[in-house]
């Protein structure tokens, strides 16, 4: 992702960087889009099994993680408005907060996943294989989609860490903060995807 | 190269920006990256042509001729994977797009040059992975390039590796598209509005949108195949609630628009060439520009016509059939506008135009036989037969391939500053063109007679046309060799071509040939071209 | 340089947006305990879309960015919806699987 | 004009001729125009091009005409296709099993054959079933084709209108011996058909139960009974012989006895004979009973080396 916003040319075009980032986000959206399509069709074909399986997931865990991610979206938005006001220190604090929220999200996810794996619900495990038709698909998609999402959280966190480093080197300033803006865009996208994952997996039963 | 070097302008991108392999492998110059793509694509294309030749040879007689059935199945899979993912999809955009998108708009490079180089590396890595299946593991996949589940999940061959290669190549394709879109949005020369853009840029613009929005779907689908093969959980297994037909939906949601990734750039090239060689402005500029966008959009809506016999629901078959017919219209509009441009022009039948007219003829046959595929009744008969093989070779090779050759002959003097031998190029065209038709036309007849595709062996009654087709393959390859030898000789020893040998109007002809590293000696300003001189 | 985004959102507005997202989240959770039956999916997706819109419009600055980005987002959304709708032309009319 | 081997031929071929007819007009017209322009407006004869004048009406004209034409083509395509999806109630049901790599056809009275035998002028409904991968049942002479999808109950039908024998081919790529997945459809007169249908199963008299089973289960598509090597090892001389198998990647020599054969049917990938591909054979557990396995072994015992 880092590559999309670097340019060797002498002239700087922030608008181009932003368009490039948005285009990249579209591909990310459609990458998940393919999975959402699979989810939609399989839910349509196995609605009872999906509803049953969704009952296994903890609404509490999901809700906490939703709040955590929404809040992290707020902090990264605030960090951008801080750098706009030439407050690099506050920008950094807000980014660190975002990273902490990302960490909380992942820890939460870790406990959630290990609970499921403990119950043998991971694809290929014995209990998983004995599930009635459709329920296995639900858990498969659950692990696939939340796993891919978690992968994006990690990628986004690395992106944010790079931004912090650049802030430390004063390479991001009040006049040149498009990298930070793009990190924000990426992070919000991760949030938007979760906004859909949350009801689809935890809430509809 | 060295003796004639003096004849070319000294400040060209071959000389500037360093010499030696390393300077090429680390370049961010869009022209060099375009050439890197061209050289690598030429290699993979040759490999796939050889595989195709071997397949044709196998089919010259029923029963075993030169290879076992399992080898044959691997051969047509690899032929398909290489031709689709390594030649036709990146072909025109990555070679001529990289070289000429910035030049056509008077820019000094693409928007993200380093990303551009990364795309090439991803392409090479993907290609290496695809070809590694030849050497390592259980051999290359034997599923056909479509990787249909559940066979692709069951077979013992190395499907996961092939599929992963396609995934990496898809990523490369996305990044190229992203780069072009941003470039076209942001880097047009001062004064060049959207409707002043050369038509090639419009077709690239439409193509790039497909690359951005469709490719991720195949990416995730291929990941699902890998997951299914690794975990064996029944993602497409009906007894577990899945559905094998969903795989086909996902596959064609990408792969049908991908057909337009392949053909649109070729149409753009032809739209550049025809006005130049008939000395007049393109007839119906806006119609062509909009038809590119229309093709890109309607192209998203027609994937189901690959699945008319798959067990898809009745209403879906009907909807997809109507939509399929609609996509024919923008293509027809383009053809009529090209014709209208030729009419009353002052036509100079140079090799680029010859290839463009060859493109129109072959694409017409491909497109019109596509109508047979789109109609429900006839599709039932010819689906998955040699008719389809003939049809898509006319579109993909006759269309995109000839578009590629047209672009090569058109822009060659700008790229190398030299000219190839025109007479030899014309001769090579005719041999290629004739060989092409002898090779692929019999497939229509075979298909109508009921010869399914992907058949290693066939009933004796089909042999006559199979022999004709195989002989055609030899003629075609002769033509291709003649063409490439002529091009390579031109690049090494051709006469200096001058800056604007075709008397072209677009901005790439304003700079010297080959262009300097920074493309233009001074920042260009766009002026409306005066066509009729 | 066109870097001076004069039109920016105040921190207060951001916090207001954050609160509204939280409210929507709770609404969505609450709604899941009421049995809407056939509408459950619709309600959940409607609320999710409202949230996604708020995030995109304010947090992702679509409100202030050049129109072209908004159009691109719209096109992407339409293309994705088309995929789903057309696929349902198959699955919506299938005879039941045996 | 049409062969009329089935009731669909006419509709399909009419659609074909309409589409190809219109296409030919365009192909010939456009090609002729290209050649004409290149000659007439060659720069030698016509050194100065006339300026392009856009003509909006012309653009509309050549957008509308193709639109009408293609909608017409769609219509005829649909008309020719519609009857294929309307299955007559009185159609004779035949259960088709497509397996790697053979066809089998089972009738209502339990009669079974590897050829499709149908009466002339009677609708026949094929219920398509596949236990392994995708196949596609294609009868070119009848202009019909439908995929055989595992787990999905696809059906197709046709009414043969002429006595004779026609090819059945598999049109969806299904692996190594895809091109050998062939059969025939035999169209008999009503009388002959009834005679065949009501005759006692002659197969049962001529063959051992294990041999019939082997045909039904498509074993012989991969395993020969004459010693030739197909996808799997031949059954000839198998029983009691020593075979080298790979168990979890390790070589092991075992005797092909009852236990080994049974295991090879129910868990085919645990002991694969050296030199043969892994993962190809379908797992038959749940599809074959204990008794059937015994019949099967009895039959293999008779296939001795010469």
Domains and their CATH numbers in chain A = 23-203 (1.20.120.80)
B289: nearest Cα among D254, D59, D67: D59
Please state, in angstroms and as integers, the Cα–Cα distance from residue B405 to each residue in B90, B389, B397, following that order.
14, 21, 10
Count CA atoms closer than 13 A to B204's CA, side-chain side: 32
The residue in chain D having the minimum alpha-carbon distance to the alpha carbon of residue B143 is D175
| Residue D42: CB atoms within 10 Å | 15
Give residue D279's pLDDT band: very low, low, confident or very high (50, 70, 90). Answer: low
> Which of A172-176, A187-191, B385-389 has the weakest average pLDDT?
A172-176
More confident residue, B402 or D299: B402
Best residue of C17, C80, C96 to probe chain A, by most A CBs closer than 10 Å: C80
Q: Nearest CB to C89: which of B213, B217, B313? A: B313
Please state, in angstroms and as integers, the Cα–Cα distance from residue A47 to each residue in A55, C90, C97, following that order.
13, 17, 14
- Across residues D33-38, what is the average pLDDT? 94
- pLDDT confidence of residue A24: 94
* A70 pLDDT higher than 70: yes
The CATH class for the domain spanning D204-302 reads: mainly alpha
Distance in angstroms (rounded) separating the CA atoms of residues C24 and A102? 21
pLDDT digits (tens, 9 = 90+) for B376-396: 999 999 999 999 999 999 999
More confident residue, B227 or D277: B227
Give residue A1's pLDDT band: very low, low, confident or very high (50, 70, 90). Answer: very low
Look-up of token digits 């009421």: C34
> Which of B291-300, D68-77, D221-230, D263-272 has the weakest average pLDDT?
D221-230
Q: Is the dihedral of CA D67, D68, D73, D74 positive or negative?
A: positive
> Which of D103-112, D207-216, D275-284 has the weakest average pLDDT?
D275-284
Distance in angstroms (rounded) separating the CA atoms of residues A46 and A134? 6
- Computed over every residue of chain B, the mean pLDDT equals 90
For D233-246, give the secondary structure using H, E and C: CCCCCCCCCEEEEE
Radius of gyration of chain C (CA): 18
| Residue C42: CB atoms within 10 Å | 11
Give residue B403's pLDDT band: very low, low, confident or very high (50, 70, 90). Answer: very high
Distance in angstroms (rounded) separating the CA atoms of residues B519 and B113? 14
Q: Nearest CB to C69: which of A19, A191, A205? A: A19
Terminal-to-terminal C-alpha distance of chain A: 36
Cβ-contact B78, B54 below 8 angstroms = no
- pLDDT confidence of residue A3: 37
- pLDDT confidence of residue D22: 94
Distance in angstroms (rounded) separating the CA atoms of residues B402 and B391? 15
- Nearest C-alpha of chain A: how many angstroms from B240? 4
Give residue B338's pLDDT band: very low, low, confident or very high (50, 70, 90). Answer: very high
Distance in angstroms (rounded) separating the CA atoms of residues B160 and B282? 47
Q: Nearest CB to D143: which of B349, B357, B381? A: B381
Distance in angstroms (rounded) separating the CA atoms of residues B455 and B441? 18
- Across residues B257-273, what is the average pLDDT? 93
B325: nearest Cα among B248, B379, B267: B379
pLDDT digits (tens, 9 = 90+) for C39-79: 777 888 888 999 999 998 888 888 888 888 999 999 999 99
- pLDDT confidence of residue A185: 93
* C8 pLDDT higher than 70: no
Considering only CB atoms, which chain D residues are within 8 Å of B455? 178-179
In chain C, residues 37-76 whose CB comes closer than 8 Å to chain A = 40-41, 44-45, 47-48, 51-52, 55-56, 58-61, 65-66, 68-69, 72-73, 76
Residue ranges of domains in chain D: 9-85, 92-199, 204-302
Best CATH choice for the domain D9-85 from the list 3.40.50, 1.20.80, 1.20.1650, 1.10.287: 1.10.287
- Across residues B337-361, what is the average pLDDT? 93
Paired tokens of B230: 């690794």
- DSSP designation for B83: I
* D205 pLDDT higher than 70: no
- pLDDT confidence of residue C6: 47
- pLDDT confidence of residue C97: 42
The set of residues, in sequence order, having a beta carbon less than 8 Å from that of A109 and lying 6+ positions away, is: A65, A146, A150
C86 and chain B: CB distance < 8 Å anywhere?
A: yes
| Residue C46: CB atoms within 10 Å | 14
Distance in angstroms (rounded) separating the CA atoms of residues D67 and B331? 11
Considering only CB atoms, which chain B residues are within 8 Å of D63? 329, 333
- pLDDT confidence of residue A5: 37
Say whether D184 sits in a helix, a strand or coil.
strand
| Residue B368: CB atoms within 10 Å | 22
Please state, in angstroms and as integers, the Cα–Cα distance from residue D119 to each residue in B516, D84, D116, D196, following that order.
78, 18, 10, 10
Considering only CB atoms, which chain D residues are within 8 Å of C97? 151-153
pLDDT digits (tens, 9 = 90+) for D81-117: 999 988 998 999 999 999 888 898 989 888 888 899 9
User: Which fold does the domain B25-510 belong to in CATH?
Assistant: Cytochrome C Oxidase; Chain A (1.20.210)
- pLDDT confidence of residue B416: 92
Q: Is the dihedral of CA B37, B40, B44, B45 positive or negative?
A: positive
| Residue B473: CB atoms within 10 Å | 23
Residue ranges of domains in chain B: 25-510
The neighbouring-strand residues paired with D167 are D184
Among left, alpha and beta (phi > 0; psi -120 to 50; other), residue D189 is beta
Domain D92-199 sits in CATH 2.40.40.20:
no
Give residue A130's pLDDT band: very low, low, confident or very high (50, 70, 90). Answer: confident
- Nearest C-alpha of chain B: how many angstroms from D162? 18
Cβ-contact A134, B240 below 8 angstroms = yes
Its ipTM equals 0.88
Of all residues in chain D, the percent with pLDDT exceeding 90 is 42
Give residue B83's pLDDT band: very low, low, confident or very high (50, 70, 90). Answer: very high
In chain C, residues 25-54 whose CB comes closer than 8 Å to chain B = none
Contact yes or no, A with D (3+ CB pairs under 8 Å): no
Say whether D150 sits in a helix, a strand or coil.
coil
- pLDDT confidence of residue A177: 87
Give how far the C-alpha of residue B486 lies from the chain's centroid of Cα atoms, to the nearest Å. Answer: 22
> Which of A51-55, A162-166, B5-9, B310-314 has the weakest average pLDDT?
B5-9
């Amino acid at each position: 992702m880092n590559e999309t916003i670097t340019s060797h040319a002498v002239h700087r075009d922030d608008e181009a960087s932003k368009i490039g980032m948005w285009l990249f986000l579209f591909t990310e959206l459609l990458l998940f889009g393919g999975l959402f399509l699979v989810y939609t069709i399989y839910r349509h074909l196995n609605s009872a099994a999906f509803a049953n399986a969704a009952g296994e997931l903890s609404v509490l865990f999901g809700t906490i993680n939703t709040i955590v991610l929404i809040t992290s979206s707020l902090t990264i938005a605030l960090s951008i408005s801080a750098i706009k006001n030439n407050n690099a220190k506050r920008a950094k604090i807000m980014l660190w907060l975002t990273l902490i929220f990302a960490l909380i999200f992942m820890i939460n996810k870790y406990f959630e996943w290990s609970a499921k794996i403990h119950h043998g619900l991971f694809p290929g495990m014995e209990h998983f294989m004995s599930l009635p038709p459709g329920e296995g698909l639900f858990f498969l998609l659950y692990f696939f989609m939340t796993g891919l999402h978690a992968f994006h959280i990690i990628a986004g966190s690395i992106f944010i860490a790079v931004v912090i480093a650049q802030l430390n080197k004063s390479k991001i300033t009040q006049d040149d903060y498009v990298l930070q803006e793009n990190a924000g865009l990426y992070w919000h996208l991760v949030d938007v995807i979760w906004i859909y994952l949350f009801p689809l997996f935890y809430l509809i039963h | 190269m060295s003796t004639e070097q003096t004849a070319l302008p000294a400040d060209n991108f071959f000389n500037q920006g360093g010499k030696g392999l390393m300077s090429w492998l680390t370049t961010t110059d869009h022209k060099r990256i375009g050439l890197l793509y061209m050289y690598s694509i030429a290699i993979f294309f040759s490999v796939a042509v050889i595989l195709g030749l071997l397949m044709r040879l196998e089919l010259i007689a029923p029963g075993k001729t030169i290879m076992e059935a399992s080898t044959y199945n691997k051969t047509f899979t690899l032929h398909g994977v290489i031709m689709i993912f390594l030649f036709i999809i990146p072909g025109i955009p990555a070679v001529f797009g990289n070289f000429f998108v910035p030049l056509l708009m008077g820019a000094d490079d693409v928007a993200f040059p380093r990303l551009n180089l990364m795309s090439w590396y991803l392409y090479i890595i993907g290609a290496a992975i695809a070809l590694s299946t030849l050497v390592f593991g259980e051999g290359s996949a034997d599923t056909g390039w479509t990787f249909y589940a559940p066979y692709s999940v069951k077979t013992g061959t190395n499907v996961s590796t092939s599929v992963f290669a396609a995934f990496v190549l898809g990523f490369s394709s996305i990044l190229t598209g992203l780069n072009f879109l941003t470039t076209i949005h942001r880097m047009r020369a001062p004064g060049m509005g959207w409707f002043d853009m050369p038509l090639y840029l419009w077709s690239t613009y439409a193509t790039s949108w497909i690359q951005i929005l469709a490719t991720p779907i195949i990416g995730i689908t291929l990941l699902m195949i890998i997951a299914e093969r690794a975990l064996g959980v029944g993602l497409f297994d009906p007894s577990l609630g899945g559905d094998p037909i969903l795989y086909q939906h996902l596959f064609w949601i990408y792969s049908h628009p991908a057909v337009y990734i392949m053909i649109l750039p070729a149409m753009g090239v032809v739209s550049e060439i025809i006005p130049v060689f008939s000395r007049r402005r393109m007839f119906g500029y806006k119609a062509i520009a909009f038809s590119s966008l229309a093709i890109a959009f309607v192209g998203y809506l027609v994937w189901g016509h690959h699945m008319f016999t798959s067990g898809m629901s009745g209403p879906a078959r009907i909807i997809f059939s109507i939509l399929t017919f609609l996509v024919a219209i923008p293509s027809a509009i383009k053809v009529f506008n090209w014709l209208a441009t030729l009419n009353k022009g002052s036509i100079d039948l140079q090799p680029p135009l010859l290839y463009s007219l060859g493109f129109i003829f072959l694409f017409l046959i491909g497109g019109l036989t596509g109508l047979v595929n789109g109609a429900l009744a006839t599709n039932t008969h010819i689906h998955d037969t040699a008719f389809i093989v003939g049809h898509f070779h006319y579109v993909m090779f006759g269309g995109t391939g000839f578009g590629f050759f047209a672009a090569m002959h058109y822009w060659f003097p700008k790229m190398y500053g030299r000219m190839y031998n025109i007479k030899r190029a014309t001769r090579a065209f005719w041999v290629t063109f004739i060989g092409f038709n002898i090779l692929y036309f019999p497939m229509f007849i075979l298909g109508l007679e009921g010869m399914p595709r992907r058949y290693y062996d066939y009933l004796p009654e089909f042999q006559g046309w199979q022999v004709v087709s195989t002989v055609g393959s030899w003629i075609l390859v002769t033509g291709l060799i003649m063409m490439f030898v002529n091009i390579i000789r031109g690049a090494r020893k051709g006469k200096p071509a001058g800056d604007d040998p075709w008397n072209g109007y677009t901005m790439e002809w304003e700079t010297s040939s080959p262009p300097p590293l920074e493309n233009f000696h001074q920042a260009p300003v766009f002026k409306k071209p005066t066509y009729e001189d | 340089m066109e870097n001076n985004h004069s039109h920016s959102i105040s921190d207060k507005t951001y916090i207001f947006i954050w609160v509204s997202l939280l409210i929507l989240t709770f609404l969505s959770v609450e709604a899941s305990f009421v049995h809407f039956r056939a509408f459950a999916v619709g309600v959940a997706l409607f609320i999710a879309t409202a949230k996604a819109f708020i995030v995109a419009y304010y947090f992702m600055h679509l409100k202030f960015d050049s129109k072209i980005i908004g159009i691109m987002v719209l096109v992407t959304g339409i293309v994705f919806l088309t995929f789903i709708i057309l696929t349902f032309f198959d699955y919506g009319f299938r005879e039941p699987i045996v | 004009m049409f062969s009329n081997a089935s009731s669909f031929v006419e509709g399909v071929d009419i659609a074909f001729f309409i589409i190809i007819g219109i296409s030919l007009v365009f192909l010939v017209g456009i090609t002729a125009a290209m050649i004409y322009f290149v000659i007439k407006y060659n720069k030698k004869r016509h050194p100065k091009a006339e300026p392009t004048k856009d003509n909006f009406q012309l653009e509309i004209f050549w957008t509308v005409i193709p639109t009408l034409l293609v909608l017409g083509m769609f219509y005829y395509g649909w008309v020719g296709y519609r009857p294929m999806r309307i299955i007559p109630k009185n159609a004779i049901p035949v259960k088709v099993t497509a397996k790697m790599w053979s066809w089998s056809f089972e009738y209502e009275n339990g009669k079974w054959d590897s050829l499709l035998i149908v009466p002339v002028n009677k609708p026949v409904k094929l219920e398509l079933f596949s236990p392994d991968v995708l196949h596609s049942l294609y009868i070119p002479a009848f202009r019909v084709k439908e995929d055989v999808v595992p787990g999905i109950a696809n059906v197709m039908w046709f009414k043969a209108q002429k006595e004779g024998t026609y090819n059945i081919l598999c049109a969806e790529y299904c692996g190594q011996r895809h091109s050998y997945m062939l059969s025939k459809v035999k169209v008999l007169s009503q009388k002959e058909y009834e005679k065949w249908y009501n005759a006692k199963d002659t197969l049962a008299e001529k063959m051992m139960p294990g041999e019939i089973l082997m045909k039904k289960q498509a074993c012989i598509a991969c395993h020969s009974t004459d010693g030739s090597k197909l996808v799997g090892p031949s059954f000839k001389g198998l029983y009691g012989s020593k075979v080298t198998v790979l168990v979890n990647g390790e070589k092991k020599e075992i005797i092909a006895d009852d236990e080994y054969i049974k295991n090879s049917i129910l868990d085919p990938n645990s002991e694969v004979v050296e030199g043969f591909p892994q993962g190809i054979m379908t797992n038959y557990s749940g599809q074959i009973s204990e008794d059937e396995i015994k019949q099967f072994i009895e039959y293999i015992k008779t296939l001795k080396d010469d």
